[in-house]
Chain A
């Protein structure tokens, strides 16, 4: 039997002809991305590092610093990049959520390995990269030694058929998959098939990002014309894509007819087997609506939100918070008028940060409140109080619901 996409990638990087589920491989890491939290907690300056050209430092989770602890991390990060001559430093002002910064700057390259101190690093799988989140100690080790190990997991392939309808986003695709198939613990996910071309790059990244929520290892998309164009625009060239063999050995192949999908919402607690089409959910009143995060603070997400909000008003009693995924997204959305439309409707636009998504700053929810979020996690307590309820849906659904004041099918609003 042949190898799956991620197996081909890992085998090549490990310098072996074949890998199979259960094998442990050691690979060189092509890009090691460190985040601000790493410098605020347990930071020790290393004696030496592997290669400053393979390191990026991104200030994202706690910027501008909401605590003294975080404020103390900033100078350590700045000293570290200066001491070791690290040029890829995304300090406050040219910062963004690391997975957005990785995408904008072409740091995730097809066929390569990327490590980063954030669990949503699987986002890079949208670009055919073996990317996954690792803990701060392991990323520190990769910084020093340049390599790490992976145990190869079995792969599930999603074979995409049909065309994704207008108004249905990558978030809806993901929430459907999570509801229909549940957790993918210790499994790799692979996405391909004739329907792939109808899923835009931003939507692919939403899907790859959220593979973390169903506990998957790697989530990898193939290279097609859309991705090649995206990479060319960002100066990424001379890459070697990883593809699946025609006779690849999958744990399962699941066919997904994109044309049948509709907007989805996940109920509080988990996305796994906990979703429902928005058209079938009760009209749940919301207190906070959030559009942002590595999954859904992209320029296209803000465009969709602005289009729905233009000329409308956020319902009384609802807070709409919008966090662009990077300073670049913020600037583009401002130039294109999206931020004006959102603010005119009564939305609050924050600086780019992971803030509200992980309940750290910039929009923590209180006891008894209901939040509808387009971010990454709906765990109990994730965005603040453990007595708050977090529903999850697409930016379109969140924007439409902010106007209605209750969880609402965006198709009725945009039609």
Chain B
């Protein structure tokens, strides 16, 4: 199987030749440090360990031009809508035609990011705007719904534009909405203001037969999962989590095969050492693999505090455990 087939087979609860091994997104600074810890100069991690390339198609989902001040009242939304033109050529990545040609011949997995989530779509980049948006949820709900509807209309039309030209293997909604112990907003509020606005985008994905729809979230969003499943998502990718609250074994027990899973390996174990890595992988990965629909992966980007020897041990053990 090639990487693309492997991913699709895994998500279909089929019989892949092995699980996909995605790269965790290792930055140059990490590689530089690892070169002082034994990584050979010029070494390519994707050749050192079995790897499956995962490409994320990033369209520009932000208002153009970027607003100096985000809207806070309904009369300001018309101007905001004009900043979200799905037909703007700047929305697509550079060298689009060439990319299309390469994608049509690809053997790797291609994922389209279709939404940046509630807070980013409402312009939250600092505490001040965060407080403003939180206040608006309570004091001016129609404004928030209207703003999210504008984002949805834009995102759905942009997704449709892309999907008319390229077939993808998964769509991803990025949703940074988890707090330490729970989501920042209640499930009821999330359904009302956010999930309702996702429906036009989900409808486009259904029309284009996109089979895997990923809810990529951070920290603790556990309470939102039932609502997210009801809305039509079928895959969870939880990053930088509190590992106790978002243990994939518990999540699989609770939600079953309706929810595919990507991730689930505590990144902190890689930092702590081989014994922690061994326990983490041997205890968590086999039961999830047995049921299928799972891509094992560390739950965040590997950073400088993970020693190279720990990373090597993690990759080798993961391969050993997943190949049975």
Real binding pair = no
Chain A interface residues (CB < 8 Å from chain B): none
